[in-house]
């Protein structure tokens, strides 16, 4: 073509797109040289195409260099470089460039905001998300127009991932006030409900999640909005976290399961998991057997994880081994680390820690920390200090900064009456601030209201009165003794 016709900016743009798809880095540089020599480099469209091609191939320095040389930098070229940074794992660089873009007087569009929200999710910084949250809701780049639904949905999801639940609730209120939706009008409200509900579950606040579920029934019915399949799945997870058997009864789930006209593998897996969580391993095995006999769906890796976990929680050791051995033989599924962990947990819960140790040494892959943690937990229960020390030694290599195995080993020593060894580990905690054990929380239901609290918690508005009553009870108890 060069021999007879002169390519224009559109020809070069198509070639650049092909180079980006095929990974031809050298050819992109040749095209840039040709565009400079021919004068086509002055075209804004071609400049953006060059920057986009460099960014997609991860040639970020070249993309930034070309960007800085431009006389007019618009939102398209800035977004191309920012997107390239995010796609190549440089989220912090993407945020730096985003700030430079704002300083340059260029306002972001919805594509820019979607890209930068992805970067925020990777960094997982609450303060950064708070800043982006304010920027999106103000919508100043759109001259007062509302952000696109996709941007709002991404912002809501990002707030949940960063633990910014208060910001997520503000966005949900914004949906209700403005009518802005994360998807189409037909599904907008249920999708926004589902997103924020899932955020609460991810951030270990199942009580708040169930409260939102009640709001759907109260407020959603007015707008003809009802919980869908996703809503119910997330709510069941919250019920499992709370162990509310009256709200998460597997027999009710089974009734819904039986009424389903089409059951995919996910629904079978959910039913098996429901029985396993509630300690009904026999029913979980029955559902698994029904799945195999149905012939319509095949069990996958998650299916075996659920059924093996159910066997572990109900002490069905022989049945668990039978299913584990059938994975590769009958279903052509190679056991993963998660399946091996389930088997160690199965033996450990049955008190057979010596067999669990031998099982680990016979694994076809290098045991991961979860495997050793399962063995260590079992050793604490049965009081086997020797194997506990071996498991802790392995965990010290894979997770040297973790506090979990140190606590477990200390408990194992204490259970075996080795107080000196237990005291030494406890002293290590006191000397180092690096190892911080996450506090556990409890909950109590009083007249239909759920209250969550930790040891020494003073967040409740009536905490002074509560601790006063506790003190009175303690004194009364001592007097009675």
> Residue 326 and residue 29: Cα distance in Å, rounded?
55
Percent of the chain scoring above 70 in pLDDT: 60
Residue 203, domain member (yes or no): yes
Residue 22 pLDDT more than 80? no
The pLDDT of 45-61, averaged and rounded, is 80
Final residue of a structural domain among 81, 106, 131: 106
Q: Are residues 237 and 261 in the same domain?
A: no
pLDDT for 250: 60
Final residue of a structural domain among 244, 266, 282: 244
Question: Can you spell out the DSSP letters for 33-91?
Answer: HHHHHHTGGG-HHHHHHHHHHHHHTT-HHHHHHHHHH-SS--HHHHHHHHHHHHHTT-H
Residue ranges of alpha helices (H) inside 162-222 are 165-178, 188-202, 206-219
Residue 370, domain member (yes or no): yes
Backbone phi, then psi, for 394, in 5-degree steps? Answer: -65, -40
Measured in whole angstroms, how far is the alpha carbon of residue 321 from the centre of its chain? 30
- In this prediction, residue 92 has a pLDDT band, given cuts at 50, 70 and 90, of confident
Question: Can you spell out the DSSP letters for 441-454?
Answer: -EEEEETTEEEEE-
pLDDT for 479: 62
* Burial of 337: CB neighbours in 10 Å, binned 0-12, 13-18, 19+: middle
Final residue of a structural domain among 53, 71, 106: 106
Mean pLDDT value across the chain: 74
β-strand 442-446 against 449-453: which pairing, if any? antiparallel
- In this prediction, residue 199 has a pLDDT band, given cuts at 50, 70 and 90, of low
**Scanning the structure block, which residue is given the tokens 């997609």?**
56
Q: What is the pLDDT of residues 334-376, one digit of tens each?
A: 898 899 999 999 999 999 999 999 999 999 888 888 899 899 8
- In this prediction, residue 186 has a pLDDT band, given cuts at 50, 70 and 90, of very low
Q: Are residues 136 and 102 in the same domain?
A: no
> Residue 163 and residue 125: Cα distance in Å, rounded?
9
**Residue 443 token pair:** 């909950």
pTM for this entry: 0.48
DSSP-derived secondary structure letter, 205: -
**Residue 18 token pair:** 């092909």
Residue 255, domain member (yes or no): yes
> Residue 379 and residue 314: Cα distance in Å, rounded?
18
Residue 343, domain member (yes or no): no
- Domain residues for the domain of 378 are 348-438
Q: Are residues 443 and 433 in the same domain?
A: no
Q: What is the pLDDT of residues 314-324, one digit of tens each?
A: 899 999 999 99
């Amino acid at each position: 073509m060069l021999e007879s016709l002169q390519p224009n900016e559109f020809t070069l743009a198509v070639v650049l797109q092909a180079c980006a798809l095929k990974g031809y880095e050298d050819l992109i540089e040749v095209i840039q040289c040709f565009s400079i020599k021919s004068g086509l480099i002055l075209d804004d469209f071609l400049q953006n195409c060059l920057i986009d091609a460099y960014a997609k191939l991860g040639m970020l320095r070249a993309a930034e260099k070309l960007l800085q040389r431009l006389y007019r930098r618009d939102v398209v070229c800035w977004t191309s470089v920012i997107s390239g940074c995010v796609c190549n794992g440089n989220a912090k660089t993407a945020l730096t460039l985003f700030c430079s873009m704002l300083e340059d007087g260029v306002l972001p569009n919805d594509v820019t905001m979607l890209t930068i929200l992805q970067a925020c999710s990777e960094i997982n910084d609450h303060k950064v998300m708070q800043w982006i949250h304010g920027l999106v809701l103000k919508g100043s780049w759109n001259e007062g127009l509302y952000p696109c639904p996709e941007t709002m949905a991404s912002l809501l999801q990002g707030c949940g991932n960063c633990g910014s639940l208060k910001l997520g609730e503000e966005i949900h209120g914004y949906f209700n006030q403005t009518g802005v939706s994360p998807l189409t009008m037909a599904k907008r409200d249920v999708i926004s409900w589902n997103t924020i509900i899932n955020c609460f579950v991810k951030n270990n606040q199942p009580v708040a999640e169930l409260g939102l579920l009640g709001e759907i029934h109260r407020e959603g019915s007015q707008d003809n909005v009802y919980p869908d399949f996703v809503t119910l799945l997330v709510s069941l997870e919250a019920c499992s976290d709370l162990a509310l058997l009256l709200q998460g009864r597997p027999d009710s789930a089974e009734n819904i399961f039986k009424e389903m006209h089409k059951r995919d593998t996910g629904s079978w897996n959910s039913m098996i998991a429901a029985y396993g969580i509630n300690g009904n391993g026999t029913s979980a095995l029955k559902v698994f057997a029904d799945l195999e006999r149905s012939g319509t769906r095949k069990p996958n890796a998650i299916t075996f994880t659920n059924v093996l976990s159910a066997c572990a929680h109900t002490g069905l050791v022989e049945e668990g081994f039978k299913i584990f051995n059938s994975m590769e033989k009958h279903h052509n599924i190679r056991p993963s680390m998660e399946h091996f962990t389930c088997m160690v947990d199965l033996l450990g819960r049955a008190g057979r820690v010596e067999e669990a140790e031998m099982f680990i040494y016979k694994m076809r892959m290098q045991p991961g920390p979860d495997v050793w943690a399962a063995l260590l937990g079992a050793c604490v229960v049965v009081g086997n200090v020797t194997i506990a020390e071996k498991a802790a030694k392995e965990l010290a290599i894979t997770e040297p900064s973790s506090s979990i195995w140190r606590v477990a080993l200390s408990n194992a020593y204490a259970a075996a009456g080795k107080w000196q060894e237990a005291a030494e580990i406890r002293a290590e905690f006191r000397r180092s601030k690096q190892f911080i054990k996450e506090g556990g929380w409890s909950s109590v239901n009083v007249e239909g209201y759920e209250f969550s609290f930790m040891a020494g918690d003073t967040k409740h508005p009536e905490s002074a009165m509560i601790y006063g009553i506790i003190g009175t009870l303690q004194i009364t108890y001592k007097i009675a003794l």
